[in-house]
A and B are shown apart, each in its own frame.
Chain A
């Protein structure tokens, strides 16, 4: 960005073309300083073999990135992220949408429901993790005793300590924390659907179900796009919930290991007993590769979903 004289009236050719950017520059400076410059440095680190401690640093080019491509734990963690993403996405677009539809019928106490259902979203994930530890913990958890005392004892399992159910528990907690988003976003777009459209369809003899699917639903596609992309970013950045519920190793036996915990473990270690295994540069490389992959996927998602929006 080249500095020129302050804009004068009438606007010069330059300020007509670039004048709007004056409002962007201050934020951009912050942004470049806090995101881009450190990212560039991080990329530099990711091309070394630095462990994070000591001065044994060698430039190894893209070897870390090549190693990631054959690194089993990376795929396992990414797969868990993907599972969480898909299930949460389904929740959002079914339960979330349905709840929003019910709220849009303006029931009594609608304001109350809306406030309560969005509440978990503003709670920190750490607090959410602790709340659910209290529910699910093998030792102080409240859910299993309740199930047992109500004759549903067969449903009482050690949710967090069995490889088969631990990921389900993580997903349930993530859903608890994030469904509010879907409800509030769908509710807003439902409220924005022009009343005339619905009335016109009714005049043509459509019943309420047909009105919803033929008239209202297509109007929701921008919300669908926004939610899908936000859910994708949110679920692939999962860290705190797993860290609090099942620990840095994604217990049991990595059944809940996600990219966030894998990267943290690789770059910073898990405990004071194993700081010798830390591979800082390798962890950074994983984080950057994940970022690039996410950016690419987001871009494709948005392109596909936007195209769909236009068609409908």
Chain B
């Protein structure tokens, strides 16, 4: 731990106070730039259309809670929300475990194909989804998965790999190889080593990968729009966009639906924020 005063012995007290004041002002401003738009969005989600013109920044005169109840029922959230939760959870778990395995397998650059495969997986970040959607759709149909949630889980899980491999491989590479060796001496199988030794040590990285992948899987619109067109297999973003299409002129409703769809991610982030940030940085910096 560094104490703020430590490296600044030669500064006068006044200098230090000024620096602190500037720092506080700067960080408060920066936070305000983030929070003020969000605040107004929440305010807007309780407004009726005329209020957007009559009372743009004030607190709504009558809080239109109906915006939220209407968004809930009309955007089909009672079906799409559980679907989104299942799809996101399963895909996140699957892609995180698979990328951890890949990271473990490719952790040593001197092993065969390690660098090549690592680059291949990470290059997945560049693949334009618009280009592959039609072939993907045809393949999912051939597998008989259309109309089920697996039609989303399969592609999402694979599309989570590039980011997972990018973050986790350097982490796995940084683990001391002696740990693996000594576990092997104790007669543990490769899988047991991975499961008991490696996975627990990579936990912060796993959390970051899970959150980062979870965020886009939660929000992904284009893939489910094309692939999951049976109402019972739809996810929230598609429902929300259809809802926005239906009530696009009623901004209050639109903002209410945006708030509803964003809230779960924000809550998940706030709950896991500490682990997330340490883990994310551990991987990304060394990448």
Evaluate contact between A115 and B273: CB separation under 8 angstroms.
Answer: yes
A-side interface residues, number (CB < 8 Å): 90
B-side interface residues, number (CB < 8 Å): 92
**Closest residue on chain A to residue B117 by CB atoms:** A24
Evaluate contact between B265 and A123: CB separation under 8 angstroms.
Answer: yes
**Closest residue on chain A to residue B27 by CB atoms:** A113
Q: What is the count of residue pairs linking A and B with beta-carbon distances less than 8 angstroms?
A: 241
Evaluate contact between A291 and B131: CB separation under 8 angstroms.
Answer: yes
- Selected from A23, A28, A176, A230, the residue in CB contact (under 8 A) with B104 is A23
A74-124 residues at the B interface, CB under 8 angstroms: 99, 102-103, 105-109, 111-120, 122-124
Stretch at the interface among A53-61, A156-164, A186-194: A186-194
- Selected from B128, B136, B237, B255, the residue in CB contact (under 8 A) with A134 is B255
**Closest residue on chain B to residue A102 by CB atoms:** B23
**Closest residue on chain A to residue B94 by CB atoms:** A30
Q: Given that A117-B30, A283-B130, A288-B131 are known contacts, is A184 also in contact with B281, CB under 8 Å in the complex?
A: yes
Minimum Cβ distance to chain A for residue B86 (Å): 18
A110-157 residues at the B interface, CB under 8 angstroms: 111-120, 122-127, 130-132, 134-135, 140, 142, 145-146
Minimum Cβ distance to chain A for residue B19 (Å): 8
B1-37 residues at the A interface, CB under 8 angstroms: 2-4, 7-8, 10-11, 20, 23-24, 26-27, 30-31, 33-35, 37
In angstroms, Cα B4 to Cα A96, docked, is 20
Q: Given that A17-B112, A22-B190, A24-B102 are known contacts, is A116 also in contact with B34, CB under 8 Å in the complex?
A: yes
Q: Given that A34-B154, A208-B7 are known contacts, is A176 also in contact with B135, CB under 8 Å in the complex?
A: no
Minimum Cβ distance to chain B for residue A27 (Å): 4
Minimum Cβ distance to chain A for residue B212 (Å): 8
Contacts of B154 in A (CB 8 A): 30, 33-34
In angstroms, Cα B111 to Cα A77, docked, is 42
Q: Given that A116-B31, A127-B261 are known contacts, is A42 also in contact with B157, CB under 8 Å in the complex?
A: no
Contacts beyond the supplied A23-B104, A135-B40: 8 A-B pairs with Cβ under 8 Å: A30-B161, A45-B135, A118-B273, A119-B38, A123-B266, A208-B8, A267-B130, A287-B131
Q: List 26 A-B contacts (CB under 8 A).
A: A20-B111, A23-B194, A26-B101, A27-B101, A28-B117, A34-B136, A38-B136, A39-B135, A42-B135, A46-B131, A105-B4, A105-B23, A106-B4, A109-B27, A111-B274, A119-B38, A120-B34, A123-B262, A124-B237, A131-B37, A131-B40, A184-B280, A192-B285, A222-B285, A237-B128, A263-B128
